[in-house]
Amino acid sequence: MTERPTAVLIHGLFGFRKLLWLEYFNGVRPLLASMGLRVLVPRLSWAGTIERRSRQLARQLAHETGPLHLIAHSMGGLDARAYITRLGGHQRVASLTTLATPHHGSSAADHVCRTLSPFALFPGVRVLTRGRVALFNARTPDHAGIIYRSYSAARPVEEQPWLVRRYGRIIQQAEGDNDSQVSINAARWGEHVRTLEADHFELIGRNLWLNPFKSRERFNHLELYREIGRWILEHEAATRRAAASHA
């Protein structure tokens, strides 16, 4: 019997594995499991640095033999890249798919850190400025044996939740179209699959729209993860065929 491929869901900044009955990746774990994937969901520091979160990720995956397919939202993609390149993750990981990860930083973090915003008190926010992430990129080259895939996301500023719309405006002025937290350009890394019509929180199944006077088209996040799950299964099947042909 062939072992099931393993998907690892990695949450972003201010994220959680499970909070009471709520899972960060809303409905995604059971969906991927129903497709035949084995699913792991590590628990990372709520607002820690990339260094701290990547070490936590490495500890929780230390006994996994792989191949692992990492699926990371937001800052989780940077944690995953640090794990792969610096902490031996390349020995276990086959692919990394990132969803609106600030691979080139975020001008929203720049803004927060140069103002008196209380969010600047969190170490995880301070490491996401464009300057800090540029340094991270220089010190964290991709590993040649890993497949890197990325999705970006964007909604017009007027379709972003009012709670975070001010950040969308800041990013729009500095970087262009965005999902309220990360611009399209910042989210591109490796093979850019496509740009999704969603805000940052819709990507994990959270609707913060909260506007009774105006509607917007709903984003089906589970279709996105179904697409990623199919890609993982197809990749694993192709890998097995290639191995069999060389046996």
CATH number for position 60: 3.40.50.1820
Residue 132 pLDDT > 80:
yes
Contact 51, 75 (CB under 8 A): no
| pLDDT value, residue 1 | 35
Residue at token pair 């969906």: 31
Residue 63 pLDDT > 70:
yes
Helix or strand or coil: residue 6? strand
Task: Indicate whether 1 belongs to any domain.
Answer: no
10 Å CB burial of residue 73 (0-12, 13-18, 19+) is buried
10 Å CB burial of residue 119 (0-12, 13-18, 19+) is middle
Task: Indicate whether 213 belongs to any domain.
Answer: yes
Bigger pLDDT: 4 vs 50: 50
- What is the tally of structural domains in the chain? 1
Query: Quick check: pTM over 0.85?
Result: yes
| pLDDT value, residue 214 | 85
Strand order in the sheet with 191-196: 38-40, 6-10, 68-73, 93-99, 147-153, 191-196
- Please give the Cα distance from 90 to 195 (Å, whole number): 27
Share of the chain above pLDDT 70, in %: 99
Contact 23, 49 (CB under 8 A): no
Per-residue model confidence as pLDDT tens digits over 140-195: 999 999 999 999 999 999 999 999 999 999 999 999 999 999 999 999 999 999 99
Give the domain extent around 20: 6-245
- 118 Cβ contact list (under 8 Å, min separation 6): none
